[in-house]
Amino acid sequence: MSSQPLKIEREGGVARVVMSRAEVHNAFDESLIAALTHGFQELDADEGVRAIVLAGEGKSFSAGADLNWMQRQSAAPLEANLEDARKLAALFHAIAHSSKPTIARVHGAALGGGMGLASACDICVASTAAVFATSEVKFGIIPSAISPYVIRAIGQRQATRYFQTAERISAQRAWELGLVHELCEADALDAAVARVVDALLAGGPKAQAAAKALIRAVADRPITGEVVEDTARRIATLRATPEAREGLAAFLEKRPAAWVKG
């Protein structure tokens, strides 16, 4: 078994977070959950990081929960079980609320929590050979910790089906459902991820963080006067920042903005 469940590599403002429990298809246990949570929190605080790519070693992106870990939790007292579940929920929250753009590079299986990881990331790029599922009901449990992110990705109606049937979802079907943004052959996966990263690096980092916060603020809300006022204040505040002034100046002067590396 790998002694290090996670590898983090940095290059040119891009952090690559790689799950390295290939021998168990990058299934979750306490060590991987803790390493992923800490890793994303650390990268979020690093001003040198512009984008985060989440990937998995071996044949799978992530097969979800390690069944040995699940067995241990099923035998644990309620309070210990609840504390462990909170740690899992905190992992998905840390990914979804990262101020940095996050990309899931999905190949092979993305099952249960693996589908949760793909859903929690901002962008999902998948191989045509990838397969997804919310398989929890097959084990007598529910996809609870991942539910906010999967429902956000595929909608309530589709989640109602897949949460109950635990059917395997092909990469093509995941693309049709809206979970997958970019679909490509396996040998083109890294190139597809690189194209998305390049597009992200061209944007202002503070603007991208503000864009994510904007979506959380307005999604699924009626367009009330309060929402209209909030959106006006957000753009007015952002327009006065040094980043916005630099972005506009760069455009008018037909040069790359300061945050774009040559």
* Catalytic machinery residues: 136
CB contact set of 97 (below 8 Å; sequence gap of 6+): none
Hey, what are 193's tokens?
A: 């991820």
CB contact set of 202 (below 8 Å; sequence gap of 6+): 257, 260
Q: How far, in Å, CA of 50 to CA of 118, rounded? A: 19
Q: How far, in Å, CA of 262 to CA of 241, rounded? A: 23
- Using DSSP, state whether 74 is helix, strand or coil: helix
- Using DSSP, state whether 53 is helix, strand or coil: strand
